[in-house]
Amino acid sequence: GQNIDQPTEMTATEGAIVQINCTYQTSGFNGLFWYQQHAGEAPTFLSYNVLDGLEEKGRFSSFLSRSKGYSYLLLKELQMKDSASYLCAALDSNYQLIWGAGTKLIIKP
């Protein structure tokens, strides 16, 4: 079966660094997405990884290891506005997105 696992909830402090992990098992693999979703709003695209390694975009970085079926999203210099759900989604061999349940990130002052 196809499965995406990520923690349900994480708490971090403003200004700190947090890493949100995601493991996946899919029928084939064509890349992994991270989306941010604030409560009551639509998901917004953060990153896409298809090759192993780290992709950095400002305060956000995303890492992929295809051999381990593992990805993480790294958020630096946390701000209160980063409080949101972070959704991990893998693209399978049929190019369908398989979504994780999302990680709710709570930022405390």
Partner 1 sequence: DTEVTQTPKHLVMGMTNKKSLKCEQHMGHRAMYWYKQKAKKPPELMFVYSYEKLSINESVPSRFSPECPNSSLLNLHLHALQPEDSALYLCASSQDGTGVPSGNTIYFGEGSWLTVV
Positions in the binding site for partner 1 (CB under 8 A): 30-31, 33, 35, 41-45, 48, 50, 87, 89, 91, 95-97, 99-102
- Cβ distance 61 to 2 under 8 Å? no
Provide the minimum distance between the beta carbon of 85 and partner 1 in the complex, in angstroms, as a whole number: 8
Provide the minimum distance between the beta carbon of 102 and partner 1 in the complex, in angstroms, as a whole number: 6
Provide the minimum distance between the beta carbon of 48 and partner 1 in the complex, in angstroms, as a whole number: 6
Query: What DSSP string runs through 59-93?
Result: TEEEEEETTTTEEEEEE-S--GGG-EEEEEEEE-T
